Amino acid sequence: MTALWFTLLIPFSSSVLLGLFGQHPAARRFNFQAAAAAFAASVWLAWTVLQNGPIGGSSDSAGSQFYIDSFNVYLIVLTAFVGASTALFSQPYMARELAAGHVTEKRLRLYHASYQGFLFTMQLALSTNNLGVLWVAMEGATLATVLLVSLYRTPQAIEAAWKYFIICGVGIALALFGTVLLYFAAAQVIPDPEQALLWSELARHSAELKPVVLAIAFVFLLVGYGTKVGLVPMHSWLPDAHSEGPTPMSAVLSGLLLNVALYALVRLKILTDGSLAAHPDAHDPHLAGYLMMGFGLLSFIVAGLFLHRQRDIKRLYSYSSIEHMGLMTFAFGLGGPLATFAALLHMTVHSLTKSAIFITVGHAAHIAGTQAMSNIRGLIRTQPAVGWGLLIGTVAISGFPPFGVFVSEFLLLTATIHSQPWFALPLLLGLGIAFAGLFRHLHPIVYGEQPEGQEGVAVNMWPVAVHLVLVLWLGLAIPGFLAHWFDQATILISGQGVL
Amino acid sequence: MLAFLPLYQQAILSLAAMILFTSFVLLAQNGVLAIIHVFAWQGLLVAVTTAFVAFDSGAGHLYFSALMTITLKVIFIPWLLHRLVRRLGIDRETHSVERPARVLMSAAALVVFCYYVAQPIQQYSAALTRNTIAISMSVVMLGMLMLITRRKAVSQVIGFMSLENGLFFAAVSATHGMPMFVELGIAFDVLVAAVIFGVFFFHIRDSIDSLDVGQLNRLAERDE
Amino acid sequence: MKIWALALLQSTAFVLLAPLFAGWVKWVKCRLQNRRPPPLAQPYRDLWKLFGKEALLSHNASILFRIVPYIVAGATLLAAAVVPLLAVNLPTAAIADVIVLTGFFALARFFLALAGMDVGTAFGGMGSSREMTISALAEPAMLLAVFTLAMVAASTNLSTVIEQVLSDGLVLRPSLLFALLAMCLVAVAETGRIPVDNPATHLELTMIHEAMILEYSGRHLALIEWAAQLKLMIYGVLIANIFFPWGIATTPTPVALLVAVAAITAKLSILGVLLATGESVLAKMRLFRVPAFLLLALTLGFVGLLSHIILEIR
């Protein structure tokens, strides 16, 4: 429990501190130090959970408000890790933005406070046991990041932020409606109203929940949280918000926010499945799964096609994020141990790879002085570290062996052929489309003719290197404890393990 | 059946119908200030209904929720919007609704749709307010419709907040409110959202010299 | 037989009292606007005067133009016979229901619009086209309100509806509340009162109803004026007796009838005051705003219908 408090309170208090003193020059370093400390606390938390089993969820104490099992603890560690490494990257990046006059000291204070505030809401959403608090935290994440998207105050940035605010606001409102319906169903089974929104309680009673209500609630929740996942057709905020905000923000939005929203969906799918499976005559027991498969596949294909017509490099990779979130949603929807295992692995590797790519893209945009892909050329000659980083990152995200993305996609394909063979075709097709879409743009960026006078910039490639090495490692050999960990989570979600 | 209910329970149902009507009025209203006023009325109706439901069900914490709604949605947010609108000098502007007949027809269709969606849910509740679930869902949907059909930032914000009203009303009518601290969290989020919206008005005005968010279209995916 | 006599009496009272109601509205309006009011019997004098005058016809007026006043007056008279003024359960009420009532109005309006165009003057045609535009929007709203009533009482017969509302006692029905509001707006539009039309003006650009009947004179004009007064009274009685039916006689005993007379007098007086007040505080709206006004009535009617289905059926 102590470790959990540390994980939550470090980002919270540093958000407050940075809100007060964020313009101080030391704030950039403090931002990283706080994120690193939170990461250490999360590792401690993970260690405790792995040793002693789930934390919280008991029905008597105040601890019932939190529930940490092997599913969310690994996401907590991942969130803290990506948060810390992006904070490390943000130090030189924001210094450069400040020097270039894109931001002022005052906005930097806002930036740092929001960054930590965002990390806090993410950890709160992951660790809470209360579905109402989960909603509050998800909405809080929007509120914390919306002013970051408009940080540069350009008309485009304002537009992106407005879209982000409105679309996510409406989406999340629908999720609240779903939550109300869920509470309605729970209130008839669980007498204590304070307990009726606790996930652990709901999971215990899921077979008694009314399937009709749950089915309707899940549709609302899927559309609601699906907006935050970036599922097509509710995705239109995502490329805008990612491309117009500061690059560290794009990295954490892509690497963390989408994951957490998907996490919320999976938790709710478990409840819905529990209820529908107990009453097979009311609805198709796989309703939730089918819905997620449909939305996932649609997002996967549409985003893959959109990759081809992008001109802005950050938009390109945000569409790639939509594509991968679609893939994960499909995998969770498919259900079964193998697909679930693949989805969990994919969540990890995508998050690591995508944040690494966004970090590299931020440097590349600094080198070229623009985000327009037609003007970013010959990176590998100007600054080999950035060029190679972008190349390897893109290779990894496209699912080439020996990177981790390949493993998870391969596992997913295997699972698909096993249970729904016809879906393997669009999956393979989509992977091909996405691959072509990424590489037709990447080739000139990395290898093209280098414009005259293009010079390298001070970069910090350590986060990129660490992320990509981790992804490579996961591709070559998943460490035993991690595989065991994923397997635990798989058992939680799909009922049986792979190992 | 209605005739056998006590008067305050009949009042709850009538108030629910009036809330739905304010949603319709919001959809068709033109003047900026008029929209803000109708929104405040809607908040007041929701709060009064909540107080009645609290009296009916004996759920004491609902009085507190009603009070919170009054402070937040009847006083604070309309006051904030009023002030912003006057400071931005757009209080005499009209936000004309394009094709009001079509908007109202789709609104009516949405209400019917909500009725059908809510129908299977209602049968599991014995509470008096179960019939208002469909109404609250309609308010949510009509708020969304307002967001879609309006082009001006202020009207969109009102649509968003009216949607929130619908959600709150849904919680009240389906389950007599959410647990207290969830409700506090939601209220806090709404408050922060309102303030951020205010900040945004100035940003948008500074960047495009008007609050017509229809002009925000630089980022749309378009053909080369 | 006695009951038929009563029905006849009621219809006669309706017809005879209609100018009085119109006079009352005018009287209150004058008082509210600090003018010296005409005597209450002024409408009767006007009608008397008009009946005594020669009816001038334009050269190209067809036969239609001549018979329309009788059709209009006849249809409105029939409509008045259907509406319970003093007592329910009268045999005339069983002949036709509320949908037929709207039909009578539509019939009268149709012929009036034809007559407006018959002579071929610019004003007549303009008035007809405006009248039809407004009624095309007002009629659906009226019907929605009527359907709401019909669903609440499970009948379209006015007498049954009133009895149902009476037997329910004081019930706060959201559906009836909205139906009442819709009905009021429709009544204002259909009887040509402010803010839709101004019955007291002949300003060429704004008039609607007056433009149609500009070519009429003498007894023809008297009949049409009388029909218009009757129509106003019918709407007044509809609103008063459907939504606030207390006092109406359910049995044809003298005491009950006396109570009913007192009740309807009080109700109509109040309604008249309300109408006059509304006309005094509101300005006539531009013609292009009228569709929005009637759209509001339509919305009200629709919300009433929906709230009956959603809220009142359990």
**Model pLDDT for residues A120-131, shown as the tens digit of each residue:** 999 999 999 999
Q: How far is C133 from chain B (nearest CA, A)?
A: 15
- Tell me, yes or no, if C174 comes closer than 8 A to chain B by beta carbon: yes
Q: What mean pLDDT do residues A249-262 have?
A: 91
- Within its chain, how far is the Cα of A188 from the centroid? 34
User: Helix A211-229 and helix A131-149: axis angle, to 10°?
Assistant: 20
Q: How confident is the model at residue C201 (pLDDT cuts 50, 70, 90)?
A: confident
Residue A255 has pLDDT above 90, yes or no: no
Q: What angle do CA C106, C110, C116 make, to 5 degrees?
A: 145
Which of residues 121 through 160 in chain B touch C, CB cutoff 8 A? 131-132, 134-135
Mean pLDDT of A278-306: 91
pLDDT band (50, 70, 90) for residue A50: confident
Question: Virtual CA dihedral for C120, C124, C125, C131, nearest 10 degrees?
Answer: -160
Please list every residue in chain C whose beta carbon sits closer than 8 Å to the beta carbon of residue B3. Answer: 168-169, 171
In order of A47, B16, B72, C45, the CA distances from C304 in angstroms are: 61, 12, 29, 42
By the 8 A CB rule, do B154 and B29 touch? no
pLDDT of residue C171: 80
- Token duo for residue A27: 């704030």
Tell me, what's the pLDDT at A431?
A: 93
Q: Report B:118-177 residues touching A (Cβ under 8 A).
A: 120-121, 124-125, 137, 140, 144, 147, 153, 156, 160, 163-164, 167, 170-171, 174-175
| CA dist., res. A434 & res. A71, Å (int) | 29
Average pLDDT over residues A188-212: 88
Residue B115: list chain C partners with CB under 8 A.
Answer: 306, 309-310
A204's enclosing H/E stretch is helix A199-204
- Mean pLDDT value of segment B60-83: 92
**Is there a contact between C87 and C250 (Cβ–Cβ < 8 Å)?**
yes
The reported pLDDT for the residue numbered A61 is 57
Q: Is A224 part of a structural domain of the chain?
A: no
Predicted confidence at residue B222, as pLDDT, reads 60
The reply to whether A59 falls in a domain is: no
A185 and chain B in contact, CB less than 8 A: yes
Beta bridge partners of A312: A372
Share of chain A above pLDDT 70, in %: 99
Furthest C-alpha separation in chain B: 67
Q: What are A310-369's pLDDT values in tens digits?
A: 989 999 999 999 999 999 999 999 988 999 999 999 999 999 999 999 999 999 988 888
Residue A352 covered by a domain? yes
Out of C171, C295, C303, the one facing B2 most closely (by C-beta) is: C171
Nearest beta carbon to residue C292 from set B3, B20, B100: B100
- Nearest-by-Cβ selection for B108 from C170, C292, C302: C302
Closest CA to B35 of B124, B142, B157: B157
Selecting from A133, A143, A194 the residue whose C-beta is nearest the C-beta of B196 gives A143
Q: Which residues of B touch C306 (CB under 8 A)?
A: 20, 108, 111-112, 115
Range of the domain at A476: 346-499
Which amino acid type is present at position B195?
A: V
Total domains in the fold of chain A = 1
Determine the residue among C148, C175, C295, C310 to mutate to test chain B binding: the one whose Cβ has the most chain B Cβ atoms within 10 Å: C310
- For chain C, positions 175-204, list CB contacts with chain B under 8 A: 175, 177-178
pLDDT band at residue A60 under the 50/70/90 scheme: low
Of A140, A180, A152, A147, nearest in space to A162 by CA: A147
Q: How far is B6 from chain A (nearest CA, A)?
A: 25
What is the per-residue burial (b if ≥16 Cβ within 10 Å, else e) of A156-193?
bbbbbbbbbbbbbbbbbbbbbbbbbbbbbbbbbbbeeb
Cβ–Cβ contact B104 with C under 8 A: yes
Q: What's the confidence (pLDDT) of residue A322?
A: 95
A61, A177, B136 from B168: Cα distances, Å = 28, 9, 8
- What average pLDDT does this structure show over C14-36? 92
Beta-strand relationship, A67-68 and A55-56: antiparallel
Strand partners, A389: none
- pTM value is 0.90
**How many angstroms away from the CA of B98 is the closest CA of chain A?**
20
Interchain pair C172, B101: CB under 8 A = no
C174, C299, C309: residue with CB nearest B14: C174
Question: Residue B1's pLDDT band (boundaries 50, 70, 90)?
Answer: low
The residues spanned by each domain of chain B are: 2-121+128-213
**Residues A132, B178: C-beta atoms closer than 8 Å:** yes
To the nearest whole Å, the CA of B55 is away from the closest chain A CA by: 18
Q: Pick the residue from chain A with its C-alpha nearest to B208.
A: A155
Domain membership flag for residue A366: yes
CA-to-CA dists, residue B129 to A491, B169, C152, C262, C306, angstroms: 40, 10, 20, 40, 16
Sorted by where each begins, the domain ranges of chain C are 2-312
pLDDT tens digit sequence for A208-252: 999 999 999 999 999 999 999 999 889 989 999 998 889 999 999
CA distance A156 to chain B (A): 6
What pLDDT score does A303 carry? 94
Q: Nearest to residue A254, comparing CAs of A268, A267, A269, A243?
A: A243
Distance CA A326, CA A394 (A): 18
Q: Is A234 helix (H, G, I), strand (E, B) or coil?
A: coil
DSSP state letter for A422: G
Averaged pLDDT score across all residues of chain A = 90
- Cβ distance C126 to C43 under 8 Å? no
Please determine, for residue A62, whether its predicted confidence score (pLDDT) is greater than 70: no
In this predicted structure, what is the pLDDT of residue A499? 77
Q: Please tell me the distance from the alpha carbon of residue B67 to that of residue C55, in angstroms, as a whole number.
A: 69
Check: complex ipTM more than 0.90: yes
In whole angstroms, give the CA distance from residue A472 to residue A453. 35
User: Residue A41 — pLDDT band, cuts 50, 70, 90?
Assistant: very high
- Among chain B residues, CA nearest to A306: B221
Mean pLDDT of A190-197: 84
Distance CA C210, CA C220 (A): 14
Question: Is residue A312 helix, strand or coil?
Answer: strand
Residue in C300, C299, C298, C293 with CA at minimum distance from that of residue C195: C293
Query: Which residues lie closer than 8 Å to A263 by C-beta, 6 or more apart?
Result: A71, A72, A75, A125, A126
Confidence bin at B70 (pLDDT 50/70/90)? very high
Does the beta carbon of A191 lie under 8 angstroms from any beta carbon of chain B?
no
Contact A210 B124 (CB under 8 A): yes
Structure confidence at residue A119 as a pLDDT band (50, 70, 90)? very high
- DSSP H or E stretch at residue A411: helix A404-419
CB contact under 8 A, B185 and A150: no
Measured distance CA(B104)–CA(C186) in Å, rounded: 18
Give the type of residue at A292.
M
Lowest mean pLDDT, pick from B88-92, B111-115, C264-268: B88-92
A117 or A56: which leads in pLDDT: A117
Query: Chains B, C in contact: 3+ Cβ pairs under 8 A?
Result: yes
Average pLDDT over residues B13-37: 90
In this prediction, residues C224-237 reach a mean pLDDT of 94
Six-digit token string for A486? 């994923």
Confidence of residue C46 (pLDDT cuts 50, 70, 90): very high
Quick check: helix, strand or coil at residue A210? coil
Closest chain A C-alpha to B222 CA, distance in angstroms: 9
| Token pair listed for A388 | 């190679």
Q: Which of B174, B179, B200 sits opposite A181 (nearest CB)?
A: B174
Residue C39: asked if its preceding bond is cis (omega within 30°), the reply is no
Choice between C209 and A330, residue whose per-residue pLDDT is larger: A330
Confidence of residue A55 (pLDDT cuts 50, 70, 90): confident
> pLDDT at residue B224 above 50?
no
- With b for 16 or more beta-carbon neighbours within 10 A and e for fewer, the A196-211 pattern comes to bbbbbbbbebbebbbb
